[in-house]
Chains A and B, each alone.
Chain A
């Protein structure tokens, strides 16, 4: 597709389970970002991938969170042993290159931990 694609669009999981969220960026975009948006809050940066460089993980809130980007394209965000405070919308964005350009967002994955 032409835009950033995220799946699933909604995910309900039980506390303590692991979840995987997927992001397929715009073809050719080298930079990929994950953000988290809790209800009524702003976007919280989680992790950033740029080409083949080591990711910037400085925004990950705990070691239960991890992400991969395979082949410089699709990215997976994994949350282990989910907690209720992990409930949020997880947004992925991509840009053609690092810094200074418009970020294109996917529609997000709404995660609910019950």
Chain B
């Protein structure tokens, strides 16, 4: 089982739509959680951290359910510029190395069309 699992998509939505991405993680000892955005042939960049109480940044809302080991990202009023791959990231201790490493999901591809 992968440590961080995401539906790869692609999610193909019209401008203005609301779209939600989900992510599950396997390590219950994980401590911190993030969503990153990666544009084609570019490096990943932080979109937002995810807090237990849920948090919002403009059109983006992130939720964390520790009991279910589940993270979500909601994008409202989608823009063409939102087209990218969204990576779920969990800082979890690796069993072999014993360090807290940012562990990345495979990413969910979003395509927003006119």
Contact = CB atoms under 8 A, between A and B. Distances in A.
Contact of A41 (B34, B97, B101, B106): B106
A99 B97 contact: no
B60 to A, nearest CB: 15
A100 B31 CA distance: 7
A75 to B, nearest CB: 15
Nearest to A107: B43
Contacts of A98: 99-100
Contacts, number: 60
Interface residues of B, number: 25
B46 A91 contact: no
Given A43-B87, A45-B101, A48-B101, A105 B43 contact: yes
B100 A42 contact: no
Given A48-B97, A101-B32, A102-B49, 15 more contacts: A33-B101, A33-B102, A41-B106, A42-B105, A56-B99, A58-B96, A58-B97, A59-B94, A99-B31, A100-B32, A100-B91, A102-B46, A105-B43, A107-B42, A107-B43
